Structure 1
Amino acid sequence: MKKYFKEFDYPLFITYFLLSVFGLVMIYSAGMMSAVNRNQGEPELFYKKQLLNVSIGLIFFAVGVTIPYKKYAKKRAMQLLIGSTAVLLLAVHFIGVSPGNSGAQSWLDLWKVRFQPSEYAKLTTIICLSVFLANLDKRGTIDSIKSYKPFVFLFAALIFSLYLEPDMGAILLFGTIVLIIILSSNISMKTISKGLILLTPFIIIGVIVAISKGLLTEKRLGRLSAFTNPFEDAENFGLQIINGYYAIGLGGVQGAGLGQSVMKLGYIPEPHTDFIMAIISEELGAVGVLIVLGGLGFIVLRAFVIGIRSRDPLARLMAIGIGSWIGVQTFVNIGGLSGLIPLTGVTLPFISYGGTSLVFLSFAMGLLINISMFVKKERKTI
């Protein structure tokens, strides 16, 4: 591995690290009032917890960057990833908790550590699907519909588990990421079309059953209504979106100054989580927003470039999968805040408060840099 570390991707690491530190600062600023109001806590409550999360994330990053990405293609590694994901997603339905007002039983409390299995599942899905498609490509059966039965079964089980929580934001993310990885493989459009035709009846039945079983709860219908016109329900479901608009408007170009947000003083609930970009906009203006989006955009583009440059299908799919994860999650978060799509409660990568998300994104960044090192070394040997 020493010869590969000479190709360490410093720009990628520096961007990831600075975004995590920037998120730490903004969590301190945005979460002060929420921390004080929560059981008369101290203002630094969320900051201290996220500082610990960043530290653990760096350890996971080191693990991700050290283990060669090809190790994940081994049978035992695949069995461990799939098995552990299945156990955790199953456990959440029996001993899971629903923190705050999320309404979703999607967390586990393990030895005083709160853990969200769906975040782990994002990482394992990217790795396992990449290995699966790369193996099909190697065997020359990537265009055989029958070859996809194991994946379709496992993915259907994953989506069903997320529906039972329920976590619609995660389902949207998983579906989009998986589609991007499949489109990035060597599978032909003819095979993709056949697969979609075969799956369409099952998708329609699934949607009908989900709706009939209470998928469209009052809260979700309210979010859909607020998405179309938040001002029609300004006192209820539209309130958070409207206050987010106010925060963006108050910030202007340069912002009111770090720590000077008004909307975090009870107008936006839990502003340090999925609505943290509204506080960034208010305090640091369009400049702060562009810095965050620029950093995240750089990571996404670099991940895609790494994937495109690789001659190894496994490296290509893993890199593009990680880039898709960060890119899609950023779009869903900003889209909900700006009114482009309905609110889902999805956090902003590296910036929002949340240990599970940051830790596994950190591991993914380590894996991405590991792939980058191998790709650079590979290109030098041509």
Structure 2
Amino acid sequence: MKIDKRHLLNYSILVPYLILSVIGLIVVYSTTSATLIQYGVNPFMSVLNQGVFWLISLFAIGFIYKLKLNFLKNSRVLTMTMMVEVVLLLIARFFTKTVNGAHGWIVIGPISFQPAEYLKIIIVWFLAFTFARRQELISTYDYQALTKCKWWPTKLNDLKDWRVYSLVMVLLVAAQPDLGNAAIVVLTGLIMYSISGVGYRWFSAILATITAFSTVFLGIIAIVGVDKMGKVPVFGYVAKRFSAFYNPFKDLSDSGHQLAHSYYAMSNGGWFGRGLGNSIEKGGYLPEATTDFVFPVVMEELGMIGASLILALLFFLILRIMHVGIKAKNPFNSMIALGIGGMILMQTFVNIGGISGLIPSTGVTFPFLSQGGNSVLVLSVAVGFVLNIDANEKREEIYREAEAELRAKQRAAQIHEEDNVIDLDSFY
């Protein structure tokens, strides 16, 4: 019996993805058209570029959906992908021009891409592959099965430790400097570690450690002062973000300008919004209104109700993705789906936290709505992985049920034959 995967497509994931993607195209047009008209450029230019990436993304989803999962479990394919990613991160850091004070974009003719965006899905793939192969050891030795090597490699074999690979890639992203994507990669890695099979208490320990470290770090900055911390070379780039985090209205002309106008945009929207395309803040008052701070513009135009419905749809998509991971029988499939759901959740949290002042702004795009073809492509590839995993899990479940039913019928037939056997000795 062969089952076509077309009949196993999870529409509870595909439909929300398609709706969010279309809403994203509308938002991109709304946030970019007015500025493009001012410069005498085709107002549809940005949305057309975004649309091209989305069409490529749809083809990518179709291609990934048809792949056999053994392709993802091939160590050579994964190793090659990671090597290419490291090379691209090095090129982005040392051989590209800065954009808004940071490296990270590789431009080839009319095409530009950001390697750090693709690392988010690669880290999920890599850690799922690594942890899935150690399930028996984890069940026996708990966290020690994942920490048998030293942090500092003293032997060549130590370089195979997953922590070394992960740390190198995170540091390459942070060196751009791209602290937003670095934070998402780290948080996603912690989620992967928590769902790897180690004792549940380690999740609580990790959460408590992050909370304590963040509290101490913010406390030190508050005591020492943002101005003094800004003189530290490594910290200079993010000093203004922390200044705005503590009091955005203290320096409205510089460090607090972006966050303050984010508040103005959200306040202007009220419950029902000013109407699609009628945002005031996107007209030059709110920097990065098309990317990092696109959601305040959405709230200004669609209001709290409209923005809440978009968030609800996004969280529904995340929950459906995580549901696939929870139901999956295969550890690798489970960790891929849960990791992807966690990755999108972390990106949403970091973006919403930044625009609302809950955490310092880190320059992370909002999933599906922000302008950026790379982000759309990465999210689409992630959705393609989950759809493929869900279809394979469903097919395996059907095969298991069919096999169990066949064994039950064979057993019933065997019992029936035994009951119909005539014992000739009973006649004598």
TM-score, structure 1 as length reference:
0.89
Give 1:348's aligned residue.
Answer: 366
Give 2:162's aligned residue.
Answer: 151
CA drift of 1:154 comes to: 0.7
Match of 1:344, as an amino acid? T
Most deviating of 48-57 and 135-144: 135-144
Q: 2: distance between equivalents of 1:173 and 1:262? A: 31
Give 2:396's aligned residue.
Answer: 378
> How many pairs were matched up?
372
Go from structure 1 to structure 2 and tell me whether the alpha carbon gap of 1:316 and 1:337 turns closer, same or farther (over 3 Å shift). same
Q: Secondary structure at the match of 2:326?
A: helix
Give 1:69's aligned residue.
Answer: 69
Contact 1:33 1:266 in 2 (8 A): no
2:117 paired with 1:119: yes
RMSD of aligned residue pairs (Cα, Å)? 2.9
Q: 1: distance between equivalents of 2:231 and 2:72? A: 40
CA drift of 1:5 comes to: 2.7
CA drift of 1:80 comes to: 1.8
CA drift of 1:319 comes to: 0.2
Give 2:174's aligned residue.
Answer: 163
Match of 1:163, as an amino acid? A
2:369 paired with 1:358: no
CA drift of 1:212 comes to: 9.0
Q: Secondary structure at the match of 1:18?
A: helix
Q: Secondary structure at the match of 1:109?
A: strand
Q: Secondary structure at the match of 1:233?
A: coil
CA drift of 1:211 comes to: 9.2
Contact 2:3 2:395 in 1 (8 A): no
Give 1:177's aligned residue.
Answer: 188
Q: 2: distance between equivalents of 1:192 and 1:259? A: 44
CA drift of 1:50 comes to: 0.9
Bigger RCO of structures 1 and 2 (CA < 8 A, at least 6 apart): 1
| Paired-residue identity, % | 32
2:30 paired with 1:29: yes
Q: Secondary structure at the match of 1:314?
A: helix
Give 1:233's aligned residue.
Answer: 251
Give 1:207's aligned residue.
Answer: none
Larger Cα-atom Rg: 2
CA drift of 1:295 comes to: 1.6
CA drift of 1:191 comes to: 7.7
Match of 1:13, as an amino acid? L
Give 2:222's aligned residue.
Answer: none
Contact 1:64 1:364 in 2 (8 A): no
* Within-5 A mapping of 1:1-382: 2-37=3-38, 40-99=40-99, 101=100, 103-138=101-136, 143-144=144-145, 145-146=147-148, 149=158, 150-188=161-199, 214-217=233-236, 219-380=237-398, 381-382=400-401
Q: Secondary structure at the match of 2:301?
A: helix
Go from structure 1 to structure 2 and tell me whether the alpha carbon gap of 1:70 and 1:299 turns closer, same or farther (over 3 Å shift). farther
Contact 1:35 1:43 in 2 (8 A): yes
Contact 1:63 1:363 in 2 (8 A): no
Per-residue CA deviation, residues 50-83 of structure 1 (Å, 9 max, x unaligned), is 1112111112222222223342111221222221
Per-residue CA deviation, residues 337-378 of structure 1 (Å, 9 max, x unaligned), is 111111111001111000111111101101111111122233
Contact 1:69 1:367 in 2 (8 A): no
Most deviating of 224-233 and 139-148: 139-148
**Unaligned segments of structure 1, at least 5 residues:** 197-203, 205-209
CA drift of 1:45 comes to: 2.2
Contact 1:54 1:359 in 2 (8 A): yes
Per-residue CA deviation, residues 310-356 of structure 1 (Å, 9 max, x unaligned), is 11110110001100111100111111111111111100111100011
Q: 2: distance between equivalents of 1:316 and 1:62? A: 21
Give 2:221's aligned residue.
Answer: none
Per-residue CA deviation, residues 122-165 of structure 1 (Å, 9 max, x unaligned), is 11111011000001115657632226852111111112211221
CA drift of 1:104 comes to: 1.1
Most deviating of 117-126 and 106-115: 106-115
Go from structure 1 to structure 2 and tell me whether the alpha carbon gap of 1:6 and 1:109 turns closer, same or farther (over 3 Å shift). same
Per-residue CA deviation, residues 1-54 of structure 1 (Å, 9 max, x unaligned), is 8533311001211110110110100110111233345x5433222112111121
Q: Secondary structure at the match of 1:272?
A: coil
Go from structure 1 to structure 2 and tell me whether the alpha carbon gap of 1:297 and 1:254 turns closer, same or farther (over 3 Å shift). same
Q: Secondary structure at the match of 2:371?
A: coil
Match of 1:352, as an amino acid? S
Q: 2: distance between equivalents of 1:195 and 1:287? A: 35
Contact 1:223 1:343 in 2 (8 A): yes
Match of 2:255, as an amino acid? F
Q: 2: distance between equivalents of 1:195 and 1:326? A: 20
Contact 2:124 2:189 in 1 (8 A): yes
